[in-house]
Amino acid sequence: MRRLLKPFELALNAAIAQDPETQSKLTTFDQRSIAIVITDLKQTLSVSVKQSQLILTLGDTPPSDLVITGQALSLAKLGNNPDNLFSAAINIHGDVQFAKQVRDLIEGFDFDWEQQLAKVTGDTLAYPIAHSLRQFHTWAQNSHQAMQLNIAEYLREESQILPDKSQVKDYLSEVDTLRADADRLEARIARLIGKAS
């Protein structure tokens, strides 16, 4: 497993070396570690920092300063939207201040994965790896959206657990009618009490 992550580790560290600001921030993370639990893949990725270098390991990890848990797609979105680290789709356990520093680090870090991979693996391997990652990301997004639509359709049409739009509209209309009737009844009672007294 460690061998599979090595090209990504080398590419990531090469990119950080070209960004003095990110490298400077990374020095403050020395000897700290993050466990990233990918729930749908049932994998844990450990990211530790030693002498301004990132070390990636997959599988059982020692206790970490920060544990980030989420599905692969939610975790992948952190690259484009670091603020998602504090969204409902991601669970965080551990040092919250460290989590904020990690978010700031990701936010200020921008580089070309394919170019950095090419320096380590060569152009021949870099393109298919990057292409496969892009395809996987697109497939994961499409599958996620399709699954949401299919579940919603099943709950509405098959199991009838969820109402469809027309049922919701009818229900809201009936609530409005009931509210108006209740207001009229309350006003009528008030008038009758006024007359009685």
Report pLDDT digits (tens) over 97-133.
Answer: 888 888 888 887 755 555 656 665 666 666 666 666 6
147: phi then psi, degrees, rounded to nearest 5: -65, -40
Q: Could you tell me the two tokens for 2? A: 């460690």
- Domains observed in the chain: 2-111 (3.30.1050.10), 134-196 (no CATH)
Question: Residues 125-136: pLDDT tens digits?
Answer: 666 666 666 666
Report the run of H or E that residue 37 belongs to, with start and end: strand 33-38
Report the run of H or E that residue 66 belongs to, with start and end: strand 66-70
Q: Where are the alpha helices (DSSP H) in the chain?
A: 2-17, 20-27, 72-76, 96-107, 113-121, 123-153, 165-196
Phi-psi category of residue 31: left, alpha or beta, with phi > 0 → left and psi -120 to 50 → alpha: left
For residue 34, give the nearest of 21, 44, 22 by alpha carbon.
44
| Residues with Cβ within 8 Å of residue 42, at least 6 apart in sequence | none
Angle at which helix 20-27 crosses helix 2-17, to 10 degrees, equals 120
Question: How far apart (Å, rounded) are the C-alpha atoms in residues 136 and 114?
Answer: 15
Q: Which amino acid is at 166?
A: S
Give every residue of the chain whose pLDDT is below 70, as ranges. 1-3, 60-61, 110-165, 197
pLDDT, residue 162, reads: 57
